[in-house]
Amino acid sequence: MTPKIFLMVGLPGAGKTTRAKGYAALRLTPDEWMLPLFGESTAGDKRQVLEGRLILVALAALRLGTDVVLDFGFWGRDERSALRWLAAAAGARSQVVYLPVGRDVQRARIAHRQATAPHTTFPMTEDDIDVWRAQFQEPDTAELTGGAIPEPPDGYPGWPAWAAGHWPPLAEIVHYRHPS
């Protein structure tokens, strides 16, 4: 059976991790590594480096036939497109799993998590939530149904090059070729 990668898409408090835990797959979640390793959720460029390392693990697992869940949030269309492309290049299927959340529900879930399990999260202000909601790009129908992957942004010869610029550890995969 062809392995599958699940891309968990949504804002903090959307329920991504809860849903991700329901899949019989290797689950990779940068939030579970950032606080123990660096004491904060972003730590400058360290998050992009960590995410890149987790993606390399995911690609290796897919090549071995193991299903993978990437519980990153994937707020941007380019991130999702790059990973859908990389999954296909690794011989895997991909599924974008979008969990929308209203602002009031999001705020309540974040407050509950911070009150009951502060060691698993990081502080988030009302302003943070508003900024993040404005930055988030909802998946379109093509993404949600496994449709065609768009071309990478101008200036990039392919999705591997875009991915390497976004997640530095992926520089070693720039020469990936898509199975056409």
Q: What is the pLDDT of residues 14-35, one digit of tens each?
A: 999 999 999 999 999 998 898 7
Q: Which residue has better confidence, 31 or 88? A: 88
Q: Which residue has better confidence, 68 or 114? A: 68
Per-residue pLDDT averaged across 33-54, rounded? Answer: 85
Structural domains in the chain plus CATH codes: 4-170 (3.40.50.300)
Per-residue pLDDT averaged across 34-49, rounded? Answer: 81
Given pLDDT bands bounded at 50, 70 and 90, which one contains residue 40? confident
d(C-alpha 111, C-alpha 177), whole Å? 44
d(C-alpha 8, C-alpha 25), whole Å? 13
What does pTM read for this prediction? 0.93
22-26, 154-158, 164-168, 176-180: the lowest-pLDDT one: 176-180
Token pair for residue 169? 């550890």
Q: What is the pLDDT of residue 160?
A: 95
Q: What is the pLDDT of residue 179?
A: 60
Residue found by looking up tokens 């019989």 in the block: 24
Element (H, E) at 26: strand 26-28
Angle at 92 between CA 64 and CA 33, to 5 degrees: 70
Token pair for residue 89? 């290049």
Tell me which residue of 96, 28, 33 sits closest to 62, measured CA to CA: 28
Percentage of the residues of the chain whose pLDDT score is greater than 70? 94
Q: What is the pLDDT of residue 35?
A: 78
